[in-house]
Amino acid sequence: MLQIIELKEKNIVATKASGKLRKEDIEKIHPLIHAILDKGMKVRWYFEMDNFTG
C-alpha cells in the first residue's frame, strides 16, 4: 500500500509505503509526479517505508 501524505509545497510528494506495492499504487502517484514536471519544476519525493516487503 502506498499512502500519500498531504503537504503544502507545490513540488514535494510525500509517501509512506507499507506491505507490498501494487500496480494501483504506482498509478496513484504517477499523475502527481507528472503534474509537477509539467509545470517545469523539479520533483522532491519523500519516500518512507514501514514494514515494506517489496
pLDDT tens for residues 1-54?
899 998 889 999 999 998 888 999 999 999 999 999 999 999 999 999 988 666
Cα(9)–Cα(21) distance, integer angstroms: 25
For 48, residues 6+ apart whose C-beta sits below 8 A from its C-beta are 14, 15, 16, 17
Cα(52)–Cα(17) distance, integer angstroms: 6
Q: Would you mind telling me the total number of residues written for the chain in this entry?
A: 54
